A and B are shown apart, each in its own frame.
Chain A
Amino acid sequence: MRERFLTGYNNFVLPFLIGMVFILAWCAIGLIKIILQLPKEDRRRFFISLINPRTAWKNIKDIFCKCLLHVDIWKRNKLLGYMHSSIAFGWFMLILIGHIEVFLYVPHRAKLLYFPIFFRYFVAETDSTLGGNFLFFLMDFFLLVILSGIFLAIIKRLRSRFFGMRRTTNLSLLDYIGLYSLWCIFPLRLLAEGFTADISGGSFLTKSLNHVFTAFLGNHTNMLPTWWAYSIALGIFFVVLPFTRYMHIPTEILLIPLRNAGIRITNARKGLAKAQVYSCPSCGLCIDACPMGVMKTHIKDTTVYLNRQIRRNNERRIEEISDKCLLCGKCSAICPVGVEGDKLRIAQRSIRKYNISHDYSSVNTDALIAESSFSSPSGSKVLYFAGCMTALTPKIRKSMEEIFSCAGVEYELMDKDGGICCGRPMMMAGRVREAEEMIAKNTEIIKASGAGTLVLSCPICYKIFKEKYSLDMEVLHHTEYICRLLDEKRLKVEHSTARYVYHDPCELGRGCGIYDEPRSVISSAGELVEAEKHHRESICCGGSIGSLTLGFDKREAMVRNAIANLTACSPDVIVTACPLCKSTFDRYSDKPVEDIAEIIANNLETTY
């Protein structure tokens, strides 16, 4: 290898160099800003996680698997996965091998940022060696891989359905500039290296290109303009990058360690929230996932557009989008970069100013404590909190009482005549202080009751009891509790021939990760069939209290869509584990809708 130019410089590197310096400076400033915006405690935790070998290893693994290989997207759709990993991993390899070449052959140029990128222009192959040939082959190979990815990306723009996406995001003008410059970079690189292939050498791709189009590529007067074009394409891409969706590429590398450090969103716009917003690649997977997507008018209210509006500081739209959401959490569950659309929205709601704040200091808990306390407290006694929603579906509570007495459990009702709300709906509205006040009141009642186990029927309550209450007792959802009673043979259920389809309630499934217990309970009572979309991908019933602005009369299309998803396998009964899902489905479903507690109570062996 020898250098073609003593100076090792040509003016065409300038656009690339300007872009590169700009983006590096931008990212460095952004990184420092986000870390400074973290609360002190989180910042400490973040730095500790960086030096902790376990989290450090997880960070490296996650960055490699997610940012380069895009494992999550592979799992969703092979073609989409290939498209992403070919471009990301291919580009990474080009940069890496470029650096290896510089270190091997012209180590004194290693400090020049542009040298690995324009290696073939500055360095010519004098005699072909095995090592050099291999590196050149790798460079051409990965360039081909990227070009195949770009080809797929162009097809995806025209026909996203081939990639398993019904809808994609509408790009903004700058996004288009970024997109087109990204598409240009690699074909231009191929062309530029094709020009120098007969001088600097190349491999199967560049050399053959040079041979085939000798008339054009052999004419060296065209060479410099092509290298200029390649450099300009890179420069434009880097300069627009901070203002486009491609900002997710550098930001995701920060988001992964932040997430692995266990940091949560504390500020609506700063710190982790900012990292999440900028990590959004505007891929639009959340558009198809959103249960509101069945109505075209709501498409612009999905998480991808929330992130865009937060970046633009469009307060009116931020409020509209964050208030409309059902908070079912499906966008967070399927997001390939881990943007938590639901938590981000709750954070936006929490910065609203209200003139009237709720106040429960006058709520007297004495009567409630008297109602729910056991005369002789013991660990084996169960306190049952049916929850507000269960008050609208009293059959669930009745069934639970039947189950308790059948299994010989000593139980007490916590909200026989109406209790205090668990606080989750208030939390969802972003009013944390008020929610905490309710939590304190309920904690007082529960601790005074003297029970050893708290059983809940409503997944909405269950989530906040698991996350925000500090009770020194077991907290179980009734699906878990029934499952345990069945396992311990304290309940005997007759196996019927009915076909049951199970609807995963958002807060129980995605919210608390309970998928297996309800299924095992249903299997003991009849035949369990799965809906078209289930587990993490289950569709919200549409009745969620997460939405602030969406009235119940505007949700029919969503409910019908969720029912269609459940009835695709023609079940006899729709089974759910949430009183809210049950009452929502009941409005529009032709099939009977029952809670797990009901089907168990109906199938109890009477001889027992």
Chain B
Amino acid sequence: MDFGFGIAPSSAVNLDRVDLEKFERLHAAEPDVYKCMSCGSCSATCIAGRFSGMSVRKVLHCLQRGKENEAISMVKGCMLCGKCSMVCPRGINTRHVILSICRIYGEDTK
């Protein structure tokens, strides 16, 4: 029976089951990833966000919570224009973070 609504799938993240090995590698390459305070300036300026929902803030969140596929599909939409790194109040070089994500992730995740 279709009620026109349903129960949302659980968004709970079991951190015990999350393999953060790749995130540690990312952290080693980009020590600044922990500096992000999720202010959302990057998402506000992102031109790719309009087309693919790209948001650096969300990408970093997803990666730390083991939602790699979600993060990768967002990163795929990035156009590397670099505006996010200009507006970042924490001075994170987001553009290089994205390039590092492209290098480290995606080896075996589909």
A interface residues with partner B (beta carbon < 8 Å)? 323, 352-360, 362-364, 388-389, 391-392, 415, 417-421, 423, 425-426, 429, 431, 434, 438, 543, 545, 548-553, 583
Contact A356/B47 with A426-B80, A429-B99, A545-B95 known, Cβ cut-off 8 Å = no
Q: Please give me the 5 A-B residue pairs with the lowest Cβ-Cβ distance, nearest first.
A: A355-B106, A553-B91, A421-B79, A356-B106, A551-B93
Question: Which residues of chain A have C-beta atoms less than 8 A from B93's C-beta?
Answer: 549-552
Question: Which residues of chain A have C-beta atoms less than 8 A from B76's C-beta?
Answer: 356-359
Question: Which residues of chain A have C-beta atoms less than 8 A from B45's C-beta?
Answer: 391-392
Q: How far is the CA of A269 from the CA of B2 in the complex (A)?
A: 62
**Size band of the B side of the interface?**
35 or more
Contact of A360 among B72, B77, B91 (CB under 8 A): B77
Q: How far is the CA of A210 from the CA of B49 in the complex (A)?
A: 83
CB distance from A5 to the nearest CB of B (A): 68
Beyond the given pairs A419-B47, A583-B86, 17 more chain A to chain B contacts, judged by CB atoms under 8 angstroms and listed by A's residue number, are: A354-B102, A355-B107, A358-B78, A358-B80, A359-B76, A362-B52, A362-B77, A364-B51, A389-B83, A420-B79, A425-B81, A549-B93, A551-B32, A551-B85, A551-B91, A551-B96, A552-B91
CB distance from A430 to the nearest CB of B (A): 10
Q: Does B36 contact A (CB under 8 A)?
A: no
Question: Which residues of chain B have C-beta atoms less than 8 A from A353's C-beta?
Answer: 103
B80, A360: Cβ atoms under 8 Å?
no
A-B contact number at CB 8 A: 105
A356, B102: Cβ atoms under 8 Å?
yes
A388, B83: Cβ atoms under 8 Å?
yes
B82, A545: Cβ atoms under 8 Å?
yes
Q: Does B60 contact A (CB under 8 A)?
A: no
Contact A354/B103 with A362-B52, A548-B95 known, Cβ cut-off 8 Å = yes
- Closest residue on chain A to residue B104 by CB atoms: A355
Bitwise interface map of B from 15 to 52 toward A, beta carbon under 8 Å scored 1, else 0: 00000000000000000100000000000010111111
Question: Which residues of chain A have C-beta atoms less than 8 A from B48's C-beta?
Answer: 421
Question: Which residues of chain B have C-beta atoms less than 8 A from A550's C-beta?
Answer: 93
- Closest residue on chain B to residue A387 by CB atoms: B81
Q: Does B62 contact A (CB under 8 A)?
A: no
Q: How far is the CA of A431 from the CA of B106 in the complex (A)?
A: 17
- Closest residue on chain B to residue A587 by CB atoms: B86
Question: Which residues of chain B have C-beta atoms less than 8 A from A583's C-beta?
Answer: 86
Question: Which residues of chain A have C-beta atoms less than 8 A from B82's C-beta?
Answer: 425, 545
CB distance from A363 to the nearest CB of B (A): 4
Question: Which residues of chain B have C-beta atoms less than 8 A from A426's C-beta?
Answer: 79-80
B102, A355: Cβ atoms under 8 Å?
yes
Q: How far is the CA of A56 from the CA of B51 in the complex (A)?
A: 51
B86, A392: Cβ atoms under 8 Å?
yes
CB distance from A388 to the nearest CB of B (A): 4
- Closest residue on chain B to residue A349 by CB atoms: B99
Q: How far is the CA of A78 from the CA of B105 in the complex (A)?
A: 55
B104, A391: Cβ atoms under 8 Å?
no
Contact A421/B81 with A356-B72, A551-B93 known, Cβ cut-off 8 Å = yes
Q: How far is the CA of A364 from the CA of B52 in the complex (A)?
A: 10
Contact A358/B51 with A392-B45, A548-B95, A549-B93 known, Cβ cut-off 8 Å = no
In the complex, 26 of the A-B residue pairs with CB atoms within 8 angstroms, ordered by the A residue number, are A352-B103, A353-B103, A355-B103, A355-B107, A356-B105, A358-B77, A359-B76, A362-B77, A363-B52, A364-B51, A388-B83, A392-B45, A418-B47, A419-B47, A420-B79, A421-B79, A421-B80, A421-B81, A425-B79, A426-B79, A438-B79, A545-B82, A551-B32, A551-B92, A551-B96, A552-B91
Q: Does B75 contact A (CB under 8 A)?
A: yes
Contact A417/B77 with A354-B99, A552-B91 known, Cβ cut-off 8 Å = no
Question: Which residues of chain B have C-beta atoms less than 8 A from A364's C-beta?
Answer: 51
Q: Does B56 contact A (CB under 8 A)?
A: no
A392, B83: Cβ atoms under 8 Å?
yes
Contact of B47 among A323, A354, A391, A549 (CB under 8 A): A391
Question: Which residues of chain B have C-beta atoms less than 8 A from A360's C-beta?
Answer: 51-52, 77, 79
Q: How far is the CA of A362 from the CA of B80 in the complex (A)?
A: 17
